[in-house]
Amino acid sequence: NPDEVGLTDFGKPHGFPERQVARWRKQWAAGHLEDRPQLDLLFDRLDGCVPKVLYPGIIHGDFKVDNLMVDAENRGRILGVLDWEMSTFGDTMADVGVFACFWDEEGRERNPVSAGTTAHQGFPSRDDALNQYANERNIDLPNIDWYIILAYVKLAVILEQIHVRHVRGLTVGEGFDDTGAMVDVLIASACEWAAKTSVPGLKI
């Protein structure tokens, strides 16, 4: 509870999803090397059916397997969550969307930024992981597709910004040559979710 730990003013949950869509649309408009109509369509869909914040709380901002510290003696036990520099008081479903966006599955297109860890044997499917999360919190996830698509879109915009800086010589070093292609993979994944969603107004 943010109130109990003195974090009431840490952020503003009300309007959080709307602000996220506006922020990342603005970031995209501020700088990209080529137009991607599908991304514009995704922004329109997200903006047209923004969900109500059902579960406000402290969010991590980059909640994924890479940022979990696991017990070496009991690998099913999480000891801690690392890297809280992007945390705020917002919509906790945003964290769930990022978590799902980075959850790879065997036989499916992987998130190009992830290490593919969850695609290995022994990890549950993405749906099972989400169901377990919902059961642990005793909540429903009625608009989870919206948050997953937002996570893919957000990551695509971030990678495009890195790509632009690399092409312009502002970001140098190894590992940046494929960043532009990664953007297309992420947009395609978002479109795949939008094509099969049952969330009203989100389907493309």
Residue 1 falls inside a structural domain: no
Residue 176 falls inside a structural domain: yes
Residue 65 falls inside a structural domain: yes
Number of domains in the chain: 1
Give me the pLDDT at residue 70, please: 93
Q: Is 8 exposed, middle or buried (0-12, 13-18, 19+ CB in 10 A)?
A: exposed
Query: CATH number of the domain that 74 lies in?
Result: 3.90.1200.10
- Which domain, by its residues, includes 181? 16-196
Residue 50 falls inside a structural domain: yes
Mean of pLDDT values over 136-145: 97
Give me the pLDDT at residue 5, please: 83
Residue 100 falls inside a structural domain: yes
Give me the pLDDT at residue 161, please: 96
Say what percent of the chain tops pLDDT 70.
100
Question: Which are the contacts of 29, defined by CB distance < 8 A and separation ≥ 6?
Answer: none
pTM: 0.94
Give me the pLDDT at residue 171, please: 87
Residue 3 falls inside a structural domain: no
The secondary element (H helix, E strand) that includes residue 38 is helix 37-48
| pLDDT tens, position by position, 38-92 | 999 999 999 999 999 999 999 999 999 999 999 999 988 999 999 999 999 999 9
Fill in the DSSP letter of residue 80: E
pLDDT of residue 136 exceeding 80, the answer is yes
